């Protein structure tokens, strides 16, 4: 699929820990068609500087 036809999926991870966020992201990605895009928004309450990098 070309990027022009890609579907954008928004995933709000909130303040989930790494393992829970990884599982939630995996579940979403498993349902996507080729070329779809995931916009992931999250915070890391223990290390906020790591998310911004």
Domain range spanning residue 27?
17-52
CB of 9 within 8 A of CB of 39? Answer: yes
Does residue 6 belong to any structural domain of this protein?
Answer: no
Does residue 5 belong to any structural domain of this protein?
Answer: no
Q: What is the pLDDT of residues 5-50, one digit of tens each?
A: 789 988 888 878 778 888 988 998 999 988 999 988 887 666 655 5
Burial of 28 from C-beta contacts in 10 A (0-12 / 13-18 / 19+):
middle
Does residue 4 belong to any structural domain of this protein?
Answer: no
CB of 35 within 8 A of CB of 4? Answer: no
Does residue 10 belong to any structural domain of this protein?
Answer: no
Q: Considering only residues 43 and 53, tell me which one the structure prediction assigns the higher pLDDT.
A: 43
Does residue 44 belong to any structural domain of this protein?
Answer: yes
Total domain count, the chain: 1
């Amino acid at each position: 699929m070309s990027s022009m036809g890609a579907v954008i999926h928004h995933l709000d991870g909130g303040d989930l820990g790494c393992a829970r966020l990884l599982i939630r992201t995996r579940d979403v990605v498993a349902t996507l068609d080729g070329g779809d895009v995931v916009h992931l928004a999250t915070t890391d309450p223990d290390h906020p500087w790591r998310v911004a990098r």
